[in-house]
């Protein structure tokens, strides 16, 4: 059998350039922004959260409290200040900027959907004021699935979160309810900071937090120790019928005081997880057979969800683009084969 050279269009160097151009085409088809796979429901959810952020930003502009672009590059209205009387701890600005991406709403919806949750299922969302963007995304996602939401919030906030005294997490949620972007109201709140009772904050900070709870008509959970707070808040969080727990921001009662909680990875934690999971409400949920979504270490979660470095949406590969990439590859291999049997 002899091998016959079939053709030599443009010469060897010309063919190399054609193959290189094909490789670039495949890269554009598969990896460029705009190839995200989202359903119509997810697209509506994204638009809802994006519009909510724009409306909140406009409100803060009108109040003179909007953060500058250097602090809130996307004009989300969900990033606060470095320090205030209700600031509990230091916070990483980069993580706060990352946490306000509207794409988180789709990520939350998929987390919930993948757990088999559907209309009427009861979930509890525990959120501190440190990541208001994630709280809004989680609530909007759960509402888009018609879940029964038991919302408990901790009003204090780390730096750059919902730490403006007259724009706390409950104020943000109340405004977004009024504007029609969400409908869930918190069933109760804690003050945050030490023991989640405001411990360590100045009197004026505690006054501001209590005033925000009064503005929204939300009862404050009181306790004389962290152990009592874990018990009382836990009873409010893990009510009968709860199928799933979302924990955002790491309130002290949510995580407890056991240092092992710091080693618990972010993301979905199953009740069968081996190892220590702290001594707070998260641990109680897992002991009760309730899966937990642990939302902390935002950069790591963003990388795993495809949101890191992207503007709005989680990554995906469009079937149309994938078929186009494969089709172009088949054509190139067929048209430019170098040898054939004779």
Which tops the pLDDT comparison, 342 or 310? 310
- State the pTM of this model: 0.81
Name the band, by pLDDT with cuts 50, 70 and 90, for residue 272: confident
CA distance 277 to 318: 38
CA distance 67 to 167: 12
What was the pLDDT predicted at 259? 85
CA distance 142 to 109: 7
What is the Cα 244 distance to its own chain's centre? 16
CA distance to 127, 161, 162, 239, 260, per residue, from 151 (Å): 8, 18, 17, 12, 26
What was the pLDDT predicted at 151? 98
Would you mind telling me the total number of residues written for the chain in this entry? 342
For residue 229 the two structure tokens come to: 């707070």
Q: Residues 24-32: what's their mean pLDDT?
A: 58
What was the pLDDT predicted at 322? 55
Q: Tokens 């950069």 identify what position?
A: 299
What is the Cα 206 distance to its own chain's centre? 28
Q: Residues 246-256: what's their mean pLDDT?
A: 94
Listed by start position, the domains of the chain span 3-34+317-341, 56-305
For residue 162 the two structure tokens come to: 């919902």
- Per the prediction, the chain carries an average pLDDT of 87
Looking at the chain, the whole-number percentage of residues with pLDDT higher than 70 is 79
- Is residue 5 predicted with pLDDT exceeding 60? no
Between strands 188-190 and 148-154, the pairing is parallel
Among the ranges given (5-9, 27-31, 123-127), the one the predictor scored with the smallest mean pLDDT:
5-9
**How confident is the model over 154-173, as pLDDT tens digits?**
999 999 999 999 999 999 99
Find residue 244's DSSP bridge partners. Answer: 123
Q: What DSSP string runs through 117-163?
A: --TT-EEEEEEETT-HHHHHHHHHHHHHTT-EEEEEEE--B-TTSS-
């Amino acid at each position: 059998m002899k091998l016959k050279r079939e053709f030599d269009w443009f010469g060897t160097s010309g063919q190399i350039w054609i193959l290189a151009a094909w490789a670039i085409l495949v890269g554009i088809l598969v990896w460029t922004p705009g190839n995200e796979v989202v359903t119509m429901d997810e697209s509506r959810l994204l638009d809802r959260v994006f519009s909510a952020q724009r409306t909140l930003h406009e409100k803060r502009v009108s109040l003179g409290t909007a953060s500058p672009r250097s602090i809130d590059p996307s004009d989300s209205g969900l990033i606060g200040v470095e320090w205030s009387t209700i600031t509990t701890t230091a916070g990483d600005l980069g993580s706060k900027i990352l946490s306000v991406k509207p794409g988180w709403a789709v990520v939350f919806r998929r987390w919930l959907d993948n757990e088999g949750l559907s209309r009427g299922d009861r979930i509890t969302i525990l959120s501190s004021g440190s990541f208001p963007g994630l709280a809004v995304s989680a609530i909007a996602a759960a509402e888009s699935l018609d879940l029964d939401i038991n919302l408990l919030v901790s009003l204090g906030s780390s730096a750059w979160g919902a730490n403006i005294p007259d724009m706390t997490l409950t104020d943000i949620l109340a405004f977004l309810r009024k504007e029609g972007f969400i409908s869930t109201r918190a069933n109760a709140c804690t003050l945050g900071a030490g023991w989640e009772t405001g411990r360590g904050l100045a009197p004026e900070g505690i006054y501001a937090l209590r005033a925000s709870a009064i503005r929204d008509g939300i009862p404050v959970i009181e306790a004389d120790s962290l152990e009592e707070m874990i018990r009382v808040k836990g009873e409010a969080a893990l009510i009968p019928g709860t199928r799933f727990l979302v924990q955002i921001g790491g309130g002290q009662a949510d995580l407890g005081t056991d240092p092992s909680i710091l080693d618990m990875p972010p993301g979905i934690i199953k009740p069968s997880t081996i190892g220590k999971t702290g001594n707070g409400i998260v641990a109680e949920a897992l002991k009760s057979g309730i899966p937990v979504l642990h939302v902390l270490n935002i950069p790591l979660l963003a990388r795993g969800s495809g949101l890191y470095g992207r503007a709005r949406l989680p990554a995906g590969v469009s079937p149309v683009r994938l078929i186009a990439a494969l089709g172009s590859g088949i054509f190139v291999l067929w048209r430019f084969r170098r040898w054939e049997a004779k």
